[in-house]
Chain A
Amino acid sequence: MTATLPGRTAMPHASSLKPTLAARGAPATRGPGGEPVVEAREFRFSYGPTEVLKGISLGVARNAVTAIIGPSGCGKSTFLRAINRMHELLPDVRHGGDLLLDGQSIYAPGRDLVDLRRRIGMVFQRPNPFPKSIFDNVAYGPTVNRLALKRDLPELVERCLRQAALWDEVKDRLHEPGTGLSGGQQQRLCIARALANSPEVLLMDEPCSALDPIATQKVEELIFALKEHYTIAIVTHNMQQAARVSDFTGFFDSGELIEFGDTDQLFTAPAHERTEAYITGRFG
């Protein structure tokens, strides 16, 4: 049984992470039952007549990485995007149940969207830097949200680029366009840009799906390092990735949360038959 588990056996660089991140598990021992930063309560979501999420209840724990896995079309990205109300651009969407950030409803009437999205940063599937300089990309959030004085921006930009492990590669060309970087660098730039808002929660929607293996490894190491300061929810297609970077994992299928728990537990001894079928590659 254990031999067929791709997640635990295929961890090419897990050992290289361990020394720098010896704390793996330490802050994460607060299980899903602890005080969650983001909490879904019977959350439902539909596009037009199609119900995509059918009553999801889970908590995203503080300073930990929570991964959401599942086959295509299972609603995992929809769930992630619902957390910072990214669906608002689309017509004809409805939701039911509730999503809470620090115990307060994200969908409460009169909720300040700008403030919500400042507190919940997002990294998208494809790197989407603005066609501006690297510096201006990172400074965008603090500028529109008036979080920093103009003279403090250089320091802030440097700190975020360092946190995103990009500083050394770009420090000599901060004023060149961010779109000129490689794919992996662009994605780390997007992470730095999200960090510049000092969000409480960082949502990552398949952040590595457009990257090559080396760039993926860098981003994964980064995710691992970031949980010291941030709460991270990541959607991924890649089960090994979920196994490598996350503390908790939720398995979605057809709009339902099939299983949610400690990552090691879920990958080694799944409680549910469908979870086991999925992680052993029998479907999805």
Chain B
Amino acid sequence: MSPSATGSDATLGGARFGDRLFKAALTLTALAVPVLLGFLVFELWAGSREAIGEFGLGFLTSSEWDPVEGRFGALPLIFGTVVSSALALLIAVPLSLGVAIFLTEFAPMRIRGPVSFLIELLAAIPSVVYGLWGIFVMIPFLRATVFPFLKDTLGFLPFFQGPIYGPGMLSAAIILAIMVMPYIMSVSREVLLAVPNTQREAALALGATRWEALTGAVLPYARSGIIGAVILGLGRALGETMAVTMVIGNRHEIAASLFAPGYTMAAAIANEFAEAVENIHLSALSYVALTLFVVTVLINAAARLLIWRVAQGGGGKSA
């Protein structure tokens, strides 16, 4: 009895040591994330100190961008980032949700797998390829057919006036929409699949139509997950650089017209970093990066809050 007891004690001690080592290693990796984040913010701040000292918060409200005179303002970039992402979601969310609902609720079994696989494949395409496709295929098509049509039918709105260049805010939004669709679609599909079948049955057994079961039982159940999917897409859209810079026109300008060229924070950093020779120019780009970081964090925080509120209201405290 006693030898086996000491034996088990020894292995227990060994296990304890192993456990402690493992726990320490995991704690270290977990701590690495916030520490890295801290360094990142510090570096951005250190890099942009000169620009912050020069322009202060006025940087965020000024539209001037003149590397020769050394005067910089980021408002058009912030505007471009927010507007292109919002427009992209406006296009992508209904499409992705429609596809997700079709694939989980209505599509014949045998096409569900292949179709969702194809859509998820879109996420694997490098963004520079999207950019090239945008330049050579999408923009010529938009310029020849869609944009003139929009101008003719909705031209009374300021958003669809002015010359059609091709590259511009709307082109960027459309390419972003295509790029974020697979994310929103596949996450909402997962969320809809996770809705228990008993919920659908409950609604159908009460005499609901398929549509009523969907809107009255399935979607409310999946609501917070779907919002999460949209936020994932938004995060992608806000940070997307390459494809956007290739099709947005890259002009530091705020225009009402969606046909007009614009610029985003990410695109400006990528484009100008290599060309910036003056310290203040570099510092201004760093300041833009810091701003992008803060904007992204704020939008994500707001989105989390929204999910939390929705989950509370939707009977989130289920047993």
State the A residues within 8 Å of B (CB): 84, 86, 88-89, 91, 114-115, 117-118, 121-122, 124, 126, 128-133, 140-141, 144-145, 177-183, 190, 193-194, 197
For B209, list chain A residues within 8 Å (CB): 114, 144
What sequence of 0s and 1s flags, for each residue 214-229 of chain B, a beta carbon within 8 Å of any chain A beta carbon?
A: 0011001100000000
Across the A-B interface, the 10 shortest Cβ-Cβ residue pairs: A177-B315, A131-B315, A118-B207, A179-B318, A128-B198, A122-B205, A141-B206, A117-B207, A128-B202, A144-B208
Interface centre among B109, B206, B315 (most CB of A within 10 A): B206
Q: Would A121 and B206 count as touching, CB distance under 8 A? A: yes
**Closest B-chain residue to A124, C-beta based?**
B198
User: Are B206 and A140 closer than 8 Å at their CB atoms?
Assistant: yes
Q: Is B203 an interface residue (CB 8 A)?
A: yes
Check A130 against B207 for contact (C-beta < 8 Å).
Answer: no
CB pair A145 B207 closer than 8 Å:
yes
Residues of B within 8 A of A178 (CB): 315
Residues of A within 8 A of B315 (CB): 130-133, 177-180
How far, in whole Å, are A134 and B101 apart by their CA atoms in the complex? 27
Does B145 count as interface, using CB distance less than 8 angstroms? Answer: no
CB neighbours (8 Å) of A86 from chain B are 201, 204-205
Chain B residue with the shortest CB-CB distance to A118: B207
Q: Does B196 sit at the interface, judged by CB under 8 A?
A: yes
What is the predominant secondary structure among interface residues of chain B facing chain A? helix
Complex: A122 Cα to B315 Cα, angstroms: 23
Assembly CA distance A250 to B207 (angstroms): 27
Would you list which residues of chain B between 195 and 250 have a CB under 8 Å from chain A?
A: 196-209, 212, 216-217, 220-221
Pairwise interchain contact A130-B318, C-beta atoms closer than 8 A: no
**Cβ of B204 and Cβ of A128 under 8 Å apart?**
no
Residue of B nearest to A132 (CB): B315
A177 engages B201 (CB within 8 Å): no
Q: Which of A115, A128, A197 contacts B201 (CB 8 A)?
A: A128
Q: Report how many A-B pairs have Cβ atoms within 8 Å.
A: 90
CB-CB under 8 A from A181, the residues of chain B are 319
- Do A126 and B318 contact each other (CB < 8 Å), given the known contacts A114-B209, A144-B216? no
Inter-subunit contact B208/A89 (CB<8 Å): no
Q: How far is the CB of B307 from chain A (nearest CB, A)?
A: 15
Contacts of B220 in A (CB 8 A): 130-132
> Which of chain B's residues 305-319 have a Cβ closer than 8 Å to chain A?
314-319
What residues of B have a CB within 8 angstroms of the CB of A130 in the complex? 199, 202-203, 216-217, 220-221, 315
Closest to B197 in A: A89
Contact assessment for A121 and B208 in the assembled complex, using a CB-CB cutoff below 8 Å:
no
Which residues of B102-127 have CB atoms within 8 Å of chain A's CB atoms?
108-109
Enumerate 18 A-B pairs (CB-CB under 8 Å) in ascending A order: A114-B209, A117-B206, A118-B206, A122-B201, A124-B198, A124-B202, A126-B198, A130-B203, A130-B216, A131-B221, A131-B314, A144-B209, A177-B317, A179-B319, A181-B319, A193-B202, A194-B206, A197-B207
How far apart are the CA atoms of A114 and B203 in the complex, in Å?
Answer: 11
A115-B200 contact given A132-B220, A180-B317, A180-B319, CB 8 Å threshold = no
Contact (Cβ within 8 A) A131 B202 = no
| B109, B196, B207: the one within 8 Å of A141 (CB) | B207
Which residue in B200, B206, B221, B314 is a CB contact (below 8 Å) of A193? B206
Q: Evaluate whether A144 and B212 lie within 8 angstroms (CB atoms) in the complex, with A89-B201, A89-B204, A131-B221 already known.
A: yes
With contacts A131-B318, A179-B315, A179-B319 known, is A140 near B203, CB below 8 A?
Answer: yes
Partner of A128, one of B199, B316, B317: B199
Chain A residues within an 8 Å CB radius of B196: 128
Would you give the 0/1 interface string for B287-319, flagging 1 where the beta carbon is closer than 8 Å to chain A? 000000000000000000000000000111111
> Are A144 and B317 touching (Cβ within 8 A)?
no
Cα of A180 to Cα of B315 in the assembled complex, Å: 8
| Contact partners of A183 in chain B: CB under 8 A | 319
Pair A197/B206 contact, Cβ less than 8 Å: yes
Q: Are B318 and A124 in contact (CB under 8 A)?
A: no
Which chain A residues border B314 with CB–CB below 8 Å?
131
Assess the B318–A180 pair: CB atoms within 8 A. Answer: yes
Apart from A124-B198, A130-B203, A140-B206, what 16 extra A-B contacts exist at CB < 8 Å? A89-B204, A114-B208, A117-B205, A118-B206, A121-B205, A124-B202, A126-B198, A128-B198, A128-B199, A130-B221, A131-B221, A132-B315, A180-B315, A182-B319, A194-B205, A197-B207
